[in-house]
Amino acid sequence: MKIALYQMHVIPGEPEKNIEKINQWLDELDDEIDIAVLPEMWNISYRLNELTELADEDGQRILPFIERKAKEIHKHIVAGSIAYKKGNEIYNRTIVVNNEGKCINTYDKAHLVPMFNEHHFLTSGSKKSTVYELDEIEMGTIICYDLRFPELTRSLALEDAKVIFVPAQWPKLRIDHWKVLLRARAIENQVYIIACNSV
């Protein structure tokens, strides 16, 4: 299995420009790539004060785009995470779409970053991350700050996940923490960790 990561510079507050960047990158992927992975909050970045206006309402903009592209290029897409609006709540939601263009898994970030006051702008996910299959391999996804809480990764490993994706916008200031925690989660659970940060 070959996996490609797009560790992109997310343009803050510009969903259409970010969609275009991803569209171009996906079109340029080599044929042998099986899974394409995107970073956290790739649609608008961390424009927390503007989430009400910028978040993707019910996934109406992003989900059809990802489903269409996955089917078109015949690749699975672990679509990082996006600012996702449902009713009056806004979530940091990851979306997984298989190579037939079907959304097979979603997960809302459980642990919001207190240092960034995420909890003032986003709603924490109420359901734990669940295992899904791509090419008959059990996988799971957590998001960025979730990495600091080992129970979440352990829960996926106990459900037989062999691969765990970690889309993120982890800051350079604490990049050493990022590298150590990724290795720790892999070693303690004996799983592959696929981490996609933004730049």
How far does the chain reach from its first CA to its final CA, in angstroms?
25
> Taking phi first (over 0 means left), then psi (-120 to 50 degrees means alpha), and beta for anything else, what does residue 50 get?
alpha
Of 69, 75, 85, 109, catalytic: 109
Of 40, 85, 118, 196, catalytic: 40
Token look-up 């050493």 returns 176
**50 is a catalytic site residue:** no
**53 is a catalytic site residue:** no
CB-based contact 97:70 (threshold 8 Å)? yes
As a 3-state breakdown, the chain gives helix, strand, coil percent values, each rounded to 5, of 35, 25, 40
68, 71, 9, 145: CA torsion to nearest 10: 100
Neighbours of 58 (CB within 10 A): 11
**103 is a catalytic site residue:** no
Catalytic machinery residues:
40, 109, 144
